[in-house]
Amino acid sequence: MMGADDDTGVCGFLWPTCSRLVRCHSSDNSCRQPNTICVHHPQCDDFPICYPVTMIDYKMCPPMKNKSILKWKQNAMTVAGGNGAGQELNQLNRPVGIFIDERKNIFIADSENHRIVEWKYNGKEGQIIAGGNWQGNQTNQLNEPTDVVVDQESHLIIIADGSNRRLGNG
């Protein structure tokens, strides 16, 4: 049984869906399953879940040596979506991963719409650049994509296609 302090974070992949993970014990946020740690995962509605230790990736997110306190101004503005959940080009439905290129364009893994959307800087709506043909495992379909990265030199788009358990590029 493992537990995490409130100021501790872990970094890893969420390959199983949230429904396959067990919630932490409510009285003390502990896990009864071996080799798990209780975390708040943003893709699981921030409920405390028992996260498998084997899925933690210290190479991807090594522990920090110093504990800095970072502050930011709280005058945020919506730059994509903001028109309720939906499938129109000015809407998103569970955006889970983003990439911002050097021109300030935003690439969004729009998970529940099974697509990757590019929002041009100061744009009012997005443009579908991958998927958007409902969920599936064909080459023109995605199934709950979780992240997107753009190699700006080669213009290669790399997509983590979550529920298909594949990485794609194009």
Going from N- to C-terminal start, the domains of the chain cover 1-62, 95-169
| Selected residue with higher pLDDT from 25 and 73 | 25
| Selected residue with higher pLDDT from 2 and 154 | 154
The model carries a pTM of 0.57
Please say whether the beta carbons of 99 and 109 come within 8 A.
no
Tell me: pLDDT of 142 over 90. Answer: yes
Neighbour-count burial of 105, counting CB atoms closer than 10 A to its CB (0-12 exposed, 13-18 middle, 19+ buried):
middle
Per-residue confidence at 34, pLDDT binned at 50, 70, 90?
A: confident
For domain 95-169, give its CATH number from 3.10.20.30, 2.60.120.10, 2.40.10.500, 3.30.450.20: 2.40.10.500
| Selected residue with higher pLDDT from 57 and 107 | 107
